[in-house]
Every structure is written in C-alpha cells, then in structure tokens.
Amino acid sequence: MTAPPDRGYLPGRSLSLTRATQTEGRAGDADVPTRIDMAKFAKFCKDMGFVYQSSEIYGGINGFWDYGPLGVELKRNIKEAWWQDMVRNPPPGPDGQEIRMVGLDCSIIMNPKVWVASGHVATFADPTRKCPGCGKFTRADQLWAILAESEWMNSLIQEFTPATGQYDTHRLMKWARGKGQKLAPNLALVKNPEVTLSFLATRVNGQPDAPPSLQEFTRYVATEQLEATGLQEPCPACGAPLGEAKQVSLMFESHAGLDKTDESKVYLRPETAQGIFANYRNVLDSTRLKLPFGIAQVGKAFRNEVTPRNFTFRSREFEQMEIEFFCHPAESQQWYEYWRDLRKKWYSTLGIRSDNLKPREQGKDEIAFYSIGTTDIEYLFPFSDDPQELEGVAHRGAYDLTQHAKHSGVNEKFMYFDEERWNADAGTRTTNSFKEWMKTNPPAADVEKYQFTPHVIEPSAGADRFTLAVLCEAYTEDKVPDAKGNEETRIVMKFHPRLAPIKAAIFPLVNKDGMPEKATELYRALKPYFNVFFDDKGAVGRRYRRQDEAGTPFCITIDGQTMQDDTVTIRDRDTLKQERVKMSDVRGVIEKALTPGV
C-alpha cells in the first residue's frame, strides 16, 4: 500500500501575528489578545489559507473576500453546525415540546415587487457623505470610527494631547508642510496652515478652562473659512471638508433579460429573509405544518456597503443564516425570549467565551419602527473596544406577512386558521362552522384566537461574521516545550472540534518499518467520516506545529509500538497530552469530541 499524497494545503512555515502590534489589553482578559492589528491578522489568515482578498492579482476589490482551503472547511462547518442545531435538532421549545423547523433555498434574484413590499427599495439606505476633494464616500454615522482608522489622523494625533487639549503650533506647522502634504493634501491645515491655526488659537485662548476635545480639534484643522462655513468635518481619505449626509441605497441592481430598462431592473437580495416570507404559504401548503414553526435559510446576501471595513466584518457580499419563526401573537414574547437565549448559548457551545458575548437590547432610537423588540448579540471583536453585532434577534410582529399580503393582493394566504384550537373549543359554541360563527359578530380578541396573521421572531446571523469571530477567538500564542525541552512560542488556533477545518492529522513517526502503510490504513479508515490529513514530511515536532496553526484538535502518531500492538498516540492540541489508544478506538474518540453540545 502506498502512502496517500500530501494534500498540500497546509503552509510549510510558521507565521506569527506580532504581539507588538496589539495595543493594551482589556481589563480582566489577561491571557487573550484584545486588540489585533487587523491588517496583520488578515495577512495571517491569507498565509494560512483561511481568507484571501477577492481578485487579489488585479489589486483586489473592496468588500469582497474568498475563503481558502482551510477557510472553506471552517465556514462550511459553521453553516452545518447551525443547520444541525437549529433546523434538524433544535432543543425543545418553552413548553417542553419538540419544535418544528424546515429549510428553504431561494433564488438570489426575486421579483422586484418583493423588495418594494419589504420596504427595502424605499428605505434600505445609509446616510452617506461625499468628499468633494477625492470623490470618496464615507458612512456618516461611522465617520469618527473611520477617521480613527485613517492614516493621516493617526499621524496627526501624535501632535495633539486630547486629555489637556494641548498642541504645539510649530509641530503642527511642520506636520502640515511635511507628512500632511502626502497623507491629507486636502486638509485645511495642510492647504492653509496659518489661517487654520489662527482659528484654533482663538478658540483655545478664548476658553482656557475648556480645552478642545479630539473631535473639536479635528473639526478645527479641517476648517479654512470658519465664518463662511462653520466648523467642518474632514474626509478620512484626503482631509477635504465632507459634504452633507444623503441617504444612499445599499441595494445592488442588475437587469433580468437583455433589455436594460427600468422594467427589467432586479436586485441582488440584501437578506435571505424575504425569500422565506414570500414562500410562507407554499411551505404551509406543501408540508401541512402547524403553528408554531420555523423556516430557515442559509445563503448569500449583497449590500453595496458605503464603507466596507474591518476585514470581512462588513463586506459587500456575505452569507446569512436566518430563521423566521411563525407563532401565535399571544405566544410571541415567549418565543422571542426563547430564541434570544438559545442563540446566545449556541455561540458559547461552539467555543466563544461568554464574556466576549454581549447581548444588547436595542434602544427606542435605533429599533425598526415595526419591531416589538430586538436584541443584538454582540461580540467583542479584537479590532474594537466596543462589542459589534454578530446576530440580531428581532420580534417583527406581523409586519412582514402583512406587507406581503397587502402588496401581493393575496391577503387570505397570509392569514392562519388554527384548526386544532378551533376544534378543541367546539363544545363552547353552537356551531362548528367558522363562517357561521363569524356571523354572530364575536369579539375581535375571540376571533384572533383562531384566525390571525402570525407573528414572526427572526434570529438573523452572519456566517462570515461568525467565521471572523471564530478566527479571532481561536487565535492564541502560547509557550510549549520544543524537542529539546526548551520553551518556544507556538501559534495555535483553538477551534472547537466541531468547527476545526481538519479534525485529525495522521503521522507515521518515520517513513519505514511499515509505519507509512499503517498510517495510510488509519487515514483511509477515518476519511469517509471526517476531514483528516496525512502528513509524513519533516520532523514530527514540525508536523505538530503545522497542525496547531491549522487548529487541528487531534494528531495521531503511528510509531514502533503500533507495529506490535495496534495502538497509536493521540495528542490533544490544547493540553498537549498524549494518550495511547487502540487504533480501532480512534474513530470513537474523534466522534465524541464532535458531538453537539446544544
């Protein structure tokens, strides 16, 4: 028997995300890198084959990403874990009963009337400011966060002490004539430093007890004609004063058919949810499901984001994992709480530390007008001090079905008649015909017991965003002994075994004495069940390191003893412990680690 070929998708050299690039840690998280330089992290992900920039050989394209050989396995595992735990095997509902879930796979391009009904055509937009200097757009509500990442701002900030409001005119002048020319050529401070600094000096001297904050300082250095324009806000790219905020649609447009007219205009879906609503009646009719039940979909969504940023966090093409859970209005609050709590727990069971998960109930100022309640499950990504949305769990009331009833004109299709409840109450009425009973003008609340537009609870997660969170969470550097017992730093991706791209690596200790053949036998026995990797290249210590960087939970070594008693060693990635087990038990050990925990 010949050894299986090296599948060759693991990089052969060690990479390190330099700790020096991380700023200070967050309180209480001593062992976890809290701020990561995302550019360096993206490089690590690229070098390892997790994530590549789309069309990189042509300079890339902003907001689009590709998954490499390890990344595609990771993301598939995430989507499969979600489907398994939410659709095929969700835990019982609040009443202890099994819950009913089915799936859908809808087209990306739908009849554009769907997006009129959902409100996307009219309102799916972000406030955006255009730069008259360089023509770039910036999302207005994220201006200060984007400025904080801009190169010129990070350079200029060295010349200002935000705590005291102090600055040195000579240094600012020097910056304006030097670095500023290159980094922010359209900034007022660069174009006309004397005038700009005179405005700033008047402000500082006029209120010596109230020094300007960093934001105010930034507005001053962006202002050339204070009286005519008031304080300005600068473009993160070139420093020119930004224009007024305007709502800009995030919908990607195309045309169906050869005629490129308004009539043939279509949209790439910005969410998977609407395909579910549009098929709600089809699912009911073809499955005879009874309320409450959920419909799930995983698929691509497209948003022409104004400022894609933070690696894959905000992309223009991404995948969603969405559930629309339909229930009786009277039961909707308990289902909202059920899904909110379940979804947070799900992330923890897949290795996200619960203190990095921050569910946050949306406030009145941010919640959608139709929503009865929305909780954002936020995650403390290492590129930000503030937690960022991983998933939204929304109580959408009857909004979506009502909208589609109105716009499609098939109103009755969206009403639900609860036959079971109607029949259960048969003894309380004189007739068993609903139509007859309606003629008696029963109170609306009584009618709604039997016939109503279902309420919807929507847990809406991002597959790419969760993949990014998993990558960030897994990235660890620790100290381990090398072959000679000296401490060395290793990078280890501590993925939960269910998510790990490779579940086990199989090594013959040496390439002789029948070990490669034995290792191949084990590899072939495991391959039908798990994504396993065969590696016979280099010292075994190096092979371990490669697998640590890929996040493989188990390394199995075939050694001299295997040849005598059919036992192998299994090394645990995290504890480094090696256990000797029978070859025939290896499959069971891996299976146990992959058993879902929800």
With binding defined as CB under 6 A, does residue 315 bind ligand GAP?
A: yes
311 Cβ contact partners less than 8 Å away, ≥ 6 residues apart: 38, 41, 42, 45, 51, 65, 383, 468
Taking the CA atoms of 73, 75, 76 and 80 in sequence, report the sign of the dihedral they define.
positive
71 counts as binding ligand GAP under rule CB under 6 A: no
Our finding on whether 459 is near ligand GAP (CB under 6 A) is no
By CB under 6 A, name the one of 73, 331, 378, 464 that touches ligand GAP: 464
- 442 burial via Cβ count (<10 Å: 0-12, 13-18, 19+): middle
Helix 463-474 / helix 69-82 crossing angle, nearest 10 deg: 110
Asked if residue 343 binds ligand GAP (CB under 6 A), the reply is: no
Binding track over 400-439 against ligand GAP, x by CB under 6 A: ----------------------------------------
**Cβ atoms of 418 and 447 closer than 8 Å:** no
With CB under 6 A as the rule, give the number of residues binding ligand GAP: 19
Cα–Cα distance for residue pair 413/282, rounded to 1 Å: 9
User: Among residues 320, 467, 547, 552, which is the contact residue for ligand GAP, using CB under 6 A?
Assistant: 320
> Does residue 344 belong to the site contacting ligand GAP (CB under 6 A)?
no
Asked if 396 is part of the footprint of ligand GAP (rule: CB under 6 A), the reply reads no
269 binds ligand GAP (CB under 6 A): no
Token digits of residue 531: 């994504």
Closest distance of CB 256 from ligand GAP, Å? 23
Q: Count of alpha carbons within 13 Å of 569, Cβ hemisphere only?
A: 16
* Of 461 and 558, CB closest to ligand GAP: 461
Segments in 310-398 forming alpha helices (H): 332-349
Q: Which x/- pattern, by CB under 6 A, does the window 372-391 give for ligand GAP?
A: -----------------xxx
**Distance, CA of 328 to CA of 335 (rounded, Å):** 10
H-type alpha helices, 364-502: 399-408, 419-424, 434-438, 444-450, 463-474
Q: Which stretch binds ligand GAP (CB under 6 A): 50-58, 151-159, 240-248, 317-325?
A: 317-325
Tell me whether residue 234 or residue 459 sits nearer to ligand GAP (CB atom): 459
Identify the three-state secondary structure at position 32.
Answer: coil
**Least spacing, CB of residue 402 vs ligand GAP, in Å:** 16
**For residues 284-313, which are near ligand GAP according to CB under 6 A?**
303, 305
Phi, psi (deg, nearest 5) at residue 169 = -55, -40
By beta-carbon proximity to ligand GAP, the closer residue of 252 and 452 is: 252
Applying CB under 6 A, the span of 202-210, 332-340, 401-409, 456-464 interacting with ligand GAP comes to 456-464
**Closest distance of CB 266 from ligand GAP, Å:** 19
Considering only 460, 467, 552, 567, the residue that binds ligand GAP (CB under 6 A) is 460
Using the rule CB under 6 A, which residue among 309, 314, 328, 496 binds ligand GAP?
314
Among the listed ranges 13-21, 26-34, 349-357, 459-467, the one in contact with ligand GAP (CB under 6 A) is 459-467
Q: Which of 219, 281, 465, 543 binds ligand GAP (CB under 6 A)?
A: 465
49: contact with ligand GAP by CB under 6 A? no
Provide, rounded to whole angstroms, the least separation between the CB of residue 52 and ligand GAP: 17
Q: Which stretch binds ligand GAP (CB under 6 A): 239-247, 286-294, 455-463, 538-546?
A: 455-463
Distance CA 186, CA 168 (A): 21
473 lies in the site for ligand GAP, by CB under 6 A: no
Q: Where are the beta strands (DSSP E) in 30-178?
A: 51-53, 65-67, 100-104, 125-130, 137-139, 160-161, 166-167
Q: Which two tokens stand for residue 493?
A: 């991706």
- Tell me the torsion sign for CA atoms 577, 578, 580, 585: positive
Closer to ligand GAP by Cβ: residue 465 or 543: 465
Q: What is the C-alpha to C-alpha distance for residues 125 and 262, in angstroms, rounded to an integer?
A: 20
SS3 at position 189 = helix
| Contact between 104 and ligand GAP per CB under 6 A | no
Q: Please, which residues have CB within 8 angstroms of residue 248's CB and are 6 or more apart in sequence?
A: 125, 126, 127, 128, 137, 306
Least gap, CB of 250 to ligand GAP (angstroms): 9
Least distance from ligand GAP to the Cβ atom of residue 122, Å: 16
90 lines the binding site for ligand GAP (CB under 6 A) = no
Site residues for ligand GAP, 228-267, by CB under 6 A, read none
Stretch that binds ligand GAP, among 104-112, 354-362, 462-470, 577-585 (CB under 6 A): 462-470
Strand order in the sheet with 373-379: 100-104, 293-302, 317-327, 455-462, 388-397, 373-379, 357-361
Contacts of 96 (CB under 8 A, 6+ apart): none
337 binds ligand GAP (CB under 6 A): no
Helices 193-206 and 169-177: crossing angle in degrees, nearest 10, is 160
Q: How far is the CB of 416 from ligand GAP (least distance, A)?
A: 21
Q: Which residues bind ligand GAP (CB under 6 A)?
A: 271, 273, 303, 305, 314-315, 318, 320, 322, 389-392, 458, 460-462, 464-465
